[in-house]
Structure 1
Amino acid sequence: MTRRKEGEREKKKGGAPPCAQRMYPDKVRPSQWGGVSVRGGRREAPRGAVVVWCRVGSKGPSAAAAPLDPRSTFPLERSDRRVVAVATLLSFLFSFFLLEVAKFCCSMSATRMQLLSPRNVRLLSRGRTELFAGGGGGGGPGVRSLTCPPLSSSSSSSSPGRALSSLSATRRGLPQGKMSENGVVSRAKVLTIDTMNPTVKKVEYAVRGPIVQRALELERELSEGMKKPFVEVIKANIGDAHAMGQQPITFFRQVLALCSYPELLNDKTFPEDAKSRARRILQSCGGNSMGSYSASQGIDSVRQDVALYIERRDGGVPCDPDNIYLTTGASDGIVTMLKLLMCGEGAARTGVMISIPQYPLYSAALAELGAVQINYYLNEENCWSMDISELQRALDEARQYCNPRALCIINPGNPTGQVQSRQCIEDVIRFAAQERLFLMADEVYQDNVYADGCQFHSFKKVLFEMGPEYSDTVELVSFHSTSKCYMGECGFRGGYMEIINMDDEVKAQLTKLVSVRLCPPVPGQALMDLVVNPPQPGEPSYESFIKERTATLSALAEKAKLTEQVLNTVQGLSCNPVQGAMYSFPRITIPEKAIKEAMDLGQQPDMFYCMKMLEETGICLVPGSGFGQKDGTYHFRYRTLDFFATADLCIYQLNFQLSSLLKDLIVVYVQKW
């Protein structure tokens, strides 16, 4: 039987050519050739294999896509020698192809392209190479087709080689992955501590720093039954009034409940004034629902109520609702204004003056925005008052390396608890006008004033009472919040800011900036409306509201006075009068031995002190180094609490001093012995 007839017979059987059976008797099975099984007219490849389908002389894409019998690739009528030569050549080219494919796969980003599967690679006719990257072969949805330029129409024997060599040219257009030394795509993270935003790494927020994290761990350990020298963790680190047991104002919660679930408007247990407030708020919301977006600047009716509140507070000084921006707490407004002030590079970079001690929001925001922090120190010996000569010193020094543009004031003070006098505020306004500084007045504790002879004066009121020379020129923004004062509603994130004398074009940019975040939380806006427009005399809820408000402020005043008196009775502690806000910032004397021990541990001495206090008493404080302090002095911020917590703190201070003294005595005794 001739080889041609033998081949035709095997072809009818569906088997491999006889030459292939003689060359690979142990590898070739019926209906299988070149790793491709033919079953019912379908081509199937072993799982994970890379298969090349070749058809020389096909005409166009339709021919390339037609069903392909792998055995028809070879001219079966030729001699075995010719077939062996062709097979050897193809084996070499196929090995070279696999090498190129491996390199190609390694060069592709693992997140953007899958490794090539049997259906992803095709060498088409006339030297045209087409690669399919994605979830499957062909040009379906989600599949990326990468096609090399057509090769020259040379002999068919050279086309496969050129097509294979062109793969390296194709992959140059692909996203490059990071290559390791062994040529494998690196699995290193795209976002690492070395490749992240460097300004974020500079951000620090001591109020929720390492001590607070340890406090959370201690709470978990206590809940698991572990024995500690205390039975609970007292969080004196943060001004979260409700978390510390302060009760919410009933009227506020009634209106918020009605707004959240309008079906309750038919419930007779709610007073009529609460229902009327809820209806007014809901009518101002899209679809009569607090779940809808509001205007980016805030609900119009709420901004109108805020403007009326400011006019009443400031004795009739006019307030335009269009200058009111409702915010996500005061913090959101502060950061937004700082963003507007950022400008310049190098020595022209924006500098912002902040008080030391300061609330860490300011230093954190300036670090994130890449601004220059300019420190001016409050006068601790004069109850943390502001000193114009200190402001001038800080400003003159800063102008050597930045462009000071803003001055921030917190009144009443956080963490220092002072209330600035009217004379001090006037001096600050004159200083800002003379030095062309933008004033930022943080007045979120304006209702928390306790000390005799102290009174809150808003910067806006003082500014307008100083006359047109200042009221028409000095740029000012003031902030208020629902989180502090007698409300203590920190979680609702309600607040506002009022802008004075802002350039109209800048104001348009401010509106655009707040629009990016759509709107502040609508429940927070509703709560802000209740704060600035509480029950009025003659309304059903007025008496209960006044009773609750007075009781809350009286309790805060008693705790502030108690804190000052008790702390000043302990050696090693000294505390200025707590005139307002919710905190004291006592100065502590730390023995030299403890300072050295802290330094050996790589900690600030006041951090060391506060951490040991947490471990021994369960009282969580914030070290003064987190707020800033003069070199060589040590403090901590203490949220004014009840007598027992303050007594525990004092006992710890006595034990701390005593233990240090005992250590010194033991050392002296051992040395003498």
Structure 2
Amino acid sequence: MTNTVEMWSVRGVFSLTGRVRHAAQQSNLSRPRGINAQRRGAKVLTLDTMNPNVKKMEYAVRGPIVQRAVQIQDELNSGTKKPFEEVVRANIGDCHATGQQPLTFIRQVLALCTYPELLKDDKFPADAKDRAERILDDCGGRSMGAYTESGGIRVIRQDVAEYIRQRDGFESNWESISFSTGASESIKSILELLNTTGPNGEQTGVMVPIPQYPLYSATLAEYNMFQIGYFLDEDNHWSLTNKELQRSLEAAKSQCLPKAIVVINPGNPTGQVLSKANIQDIIKFAKKEGLFILADEVYQQNVYAEGCEFHSFKKVLCEMGKDYSDVQLASFMSTSKGFMGECGLRGGYCEVMHIDDEVMLMFNKLNSAKLCSNTHGQAAMECVVNPPKPSEPSYELFTQEKNDVLKSLRAKASIVKETFDSIDGVSCNAIQGSMYCFPQLDLPQKLVDHAKSKNMHPDAFYCFELLENTGLCVVPGSGFGQVDGTHHFRCTILPQEEQFRSVMKRFETFHNDFMKQWR
């Protein structure tokens, strides 16, 4: 060996022998060792040296418009006068933050699990106590503060399996179900398993609906995976076609190794509900092209439109029979949406189908590295999948509260569509499900040119002006993806009805004045 060799390990420099070791020692007296030493006095982590994939990430629902909304609310709180009294947060599906009240039964069970002394209190109904006892009996030391199994509390996973069996009419194996801190964590875990490098160094390609929920674009950027966008058909209630699926896939094959397709049903941000025929077509496409299916079904409780019905991908896949037993599927559910709206508890689960035992071991290993998901989120999911039964004391109140939430969401879905459709320059598809609408804006060319001259997306410029003038915080369509030349924004239907009617009137006044200004 004629060159000085520096070998680094987690404990420093490996031993070097003879002349090489002596040369290295003498050299180290007169010059810095290693990359960090060469930068002595400089910071290790800077914008230039950090992970470039993180810099590529974008998450529109908490982007710059939302940051400005927080500033405006602070200004209002400090006494600054504006043409409105409060910021209306319609940018994110955060149900309780917009006034939805927690369901009594869920909070009773959580309280009992958190402080078991309350089990002695006669104010709590017997069925809430029964659920809490069932959960605590399966917790180490009968405490919610103990780690659970990596996949989650066993009895709740068993109850999830029973819920799925009753929903779909097909058996569900509780060992194929794992809890996560929100559905987002499970989605990221599945993508992590799929992420490999192709034989020629290709990135893993994942098909994602456009418009899409920014979790997917952000995660694919973070993992250095390739996003294959397939467009939903706005003119046909945001449905999708095999022709578009095939077009987007063929266009991407030269740039990546396609391995998966994401489907969000009911849709976010578009609010559509897929028909069974649509789901069958997707499954056939996935089989033909050898794609893993990620079915984001967190809004399965939120279906409003007449003639629409939620069909789970698992149910449709099982109905299609043995010819499709090689189609692999992961489906996701959450406590954050539905009628529950328990976003902060971060409860979610994933069920996988047709996964090899060896791969399940790897998935479980991935989960075990995170120890376990939030136990309170798991307990909340127990209340969703094992709610009060007609013979139990909490049934009447639980059913009333659940129906009131869904009735209100259905009414607001109608208010939004009627309002937007009545305004010149705005068009909106019916909100069939989920908690969002994605109206299209017909913006004047003068405005489009002005926004671009400021290096802004035209719909982002519109949304900033909307916020500053009305206090309504929405997210520009450019943060979700859209057909070139079109402009949208996503608006939740979560603010309370009276507040929502008021803000819709402010929106109409703003929009009409704004369009006159730019025509």
TM-score category, normalised to shorter length? over 0.9
2:313 to 459, 466, 470: 459
TM-score calculated relative to the size of structure 2? 0.93
Say which SS state the counterpart of residue 304 (structure 2) adopts: coil
Say which SS state the counterpart of residue 519 (structure 1) adopts: coil
Q: Which amino acid aligns with 1:654?
A: N
Whether 1:563 aligns to 2:416 is: yes
User: For each residue in 1:221-258, what CA deviation from the matched residue of structure 2 results, as whole angstroms up to 9, or x when unmatched?
Assistant: 11111122211011000000000000110000011011
Deviation at 1:171, TM superposition (A): 2.2
Deviation at 1:170, TM superposition (A): 5.2
TM-score calculated relative to the size of structure 1? 0.72
Say which SS state the counterpart of residue 487 (structure 2) adopts: coil
Which residues of structure 1 form unaligned runs of 5+? 1-143, 150-165, 662-673
Residues in 1 aligned to 2:312 and 2:352: alpha-carbon distance in whole angstroms: 13
Deviation at 1:600, TM superposition (A): 1.4
> 1:289 aligns to what?
143
The 3 A distance-change label for structure 1 pair 290 and 660 is same
Residues in 1 aligned to 2:510 and 2:191: alpha-carbon distance in whole angstroms: 40
Residues in 1 aligned to 2:31 and 2:151: alpha-carbon distance in whole angstroms: 47
5 Å-filtered alignment, 1:238-637, equals: 238-314=92-168, 316-345=169-198, 348-470=202-324, 472-637=325-490
Say which SS state the counterpart of residue 188 (structure 1) adopts: coil
Residues in 1 aligned to 2:296 and 2:430: alpha-carbon distance in whole angstroms: 21
> 2:502 aligns to what?
644
Which structure has more relative contact order (CA 8 Å, sep 6+)? It is 2
Say which SS state the counterpart of residue 205 (structure 2) adopts: strand
The 3 A distance-change label for structure 1 pair 531 and 615 is same
> 1:156 aligns to what?
none
> 1:154 aligns to what?
none
Residues in 2 aligned to 1:337 and 1:526: alpha-carbon distance in whole angstroms: 23
> 1:199 aligns to what?
53
User: For each residue in 1:439-487, what CA deviation from the matched residue of structure 2 results, as whole angstroms up to 9, or x when unmatched?
Assistant: 11000000100000000000110111111111x2110110000000100
Deviation at 1:535, TM superposition (A): 0.3
Residues in 2 aligned to 1:172 and 1:250: alpha-carbon distance in whole angstroms: 71
Q: Which amino acid aligns with 1:438?
A: F
Contact 2:36 2:44 in 1 (8 A): no
User: For each residue in 1:410-442, what CA deviation from the matched residue of structure 2 results, as whole angstroms up to 9, or x when unmatched?
Assistant: 000000000000111111111111111101100
Contact 2:181 2:374 in 1 (8 A): yes
Residues in 1 aligned to 2:330 and 2:457: alpha-carbon distance in whole angstroms: 35
Structure exhibiting the larger radius of gyration computed from Cα positions: 1
Residues in 1 aligned to 2:55 and 2:28: alpha-carbon distance in whole angstroms: 40
Contact 1:255 1:275 in 2 (8 A): yes
5 Å-filtered alignment, 1:226-241, equals: 226-241=80-95
Contact 1:297 1:511 in 2 (8 A): yes
Deviation at 1:172, TM superposition (A): 5.6
Residues in 1 aligned to 2:186 and 2:29: alpha-carbon distance in whole angstroms: 49
- Please list every run of at least 4 consecutive aligned residues from structure 1 whose deviation after the TM superposition is greater than 6 angstroms: 177-180
Which residues of structure 2 form unaligned runs of 5+? 1-11, 18-23
Deviation at 1:597, TM superposition (A): 1.3
Contact 1:413 1:419 in 2 (8 A): yes
Contact 1:347 1:400 in 2 (8 A): no
Q: Which amino acid aligns with 1:351?
A: G
Residues in 2 aligned to 1:334 and 1:198: alpha-carbon distance in whole angstroms: 22
Contact 1:448 1:582 in 2 (8 A): yes
Residues in 2 aligned to 1:339 and 1:507: alpha-carbon distance in whole angstroms: 13
> 1:214 aligns to what?
68
2:518 to 649, 657, 660: 660
Say which SS state the counterpart of residue 635 (structure 1) adopts: strand
Say which SS state the counterpart of residue 637 (structure 1) adopts: strand
Deviation at 1:174, TM superposition (A): 6.5
Say which SS state the counterpart of residue 534 (structure 1) adopts: coil
Deviation at 1:179, TM superposition (A): 7.8
User: For each residue in 1:342-393, what CA deviation from the matched residue of structure 2 results, as whole angstroms up to 9, or x when unmatched?
Assistant: 1115563210000000000000000000111001000000000011100000
